[in-house]
Chain A
Amino acid sequence: DSGVTQTPKHLITATGQRVTLRCSPRSGDLSVYWYQQSLDQGLQFLIQYYNGEERAKGNILERFSAQQFPDLHSELNLSSLELGDSALYFCASSVGDGTRSYEQYFGPGTRLTVT
């Protein structure tokens, strides 16, 4: 158990809908990272927040957005869902802001299926 929690574990929804994925980082970690893992794209970095502020951006679509709240939990919002958005979405956390090689601890993931 990494200490990172993600809800829900599974999510099935229809095209065009909007969903919110939630992540709680390990106690004491200030950074939250979101990743998408799909069969054709592999593991892709989406976005990082550090202490409530966006810190780094990866291959995140405009239909997707994220935020980190004062209690440090984070939400990833996916809207106008398409079939290709079906994937495993992982959250990870680390103690630092990403400038040093602190370990990232991964949550168990949320499996999103868009039908």
Chain B
Amino acid sequence: GNSVTQMEGPVTLSEEAFLTINCTYTATGYPSLFWYVQYPGEGLQLLLKATKADDKGSNKGFEATYRKETTSFHLEKGSVQVSDSAVYFCALKGRSGGYQKVTFGTGTKLQVIP
């Protein structure tokens, strides 16, 4: 079946540091890839997405590129802020068991300190 593996957290960075959160996937066919963010006490929000190979999703300074050759979708941001502290989930949407399903990674907690 489909699966998503993302780096374990927590990740602790100083403000203005560079962020990378690794995400790799296993899927049949051509899945769509997503990053969701969950702020404390809230539900998940879509951060960015990419629907085909070499697409780059971007939003709020975050970027991720769909790399089919390495089956990866790493999340990056050039300069993090304290307000970016949250849990980040990598996800894919693909066919599994005859349905289109979204499969989430385990989440990576990011803590940004001033």
Residues of chain A whose beta carbon lies under 8 Å from any beta carbon of chain B? 2, 4, 33, 42-45, 48, 55-58, 90, 92, 98-99, 101, 103-109
Q: Is B106 an interface residue (CB 8 A)?
A: yes
**Chain B binding site: helix, strand, loop or mixed by DSSP?**
strand
Interchain CB contact under 8 A, A56 and B103: no
B interface size (C-beta, 8 A): 22
Nearest chain A CB to B89 CB, angstrom units: 7
* Separation of A103 and B90 alpha carbons in the complex (Å): 14
Interchain CB contact under 8 A, A103 and B99: no
Interchain CB contact under 8 A, B49 and A101: yes
* Separation of A3 and B74 alpha carbons in the complex (Å): 29
Interchain CB contact under 8 A, B43 and A90: yes
If the complex has contacts A42-B105, A42-B106, are A104 and B46 also in contact, measured as CB distance less than 8 A? yes
If the complex has contacts A43-B89, A43-B107, are A103 and B46 also in contact, measured as CB distance less than 8 A? yes
- A sample of 8 cross-chain residue pairs with beta-carbon separation below 8 angstroms, ordered by A number, consists of A2-B43, A42-B106, A43-B106, A44-B104, A58-B101, A90-B44, A92-B43, A99-B100
Q: Chain B: which residue is nearest A33 at the CB level?
A: B102
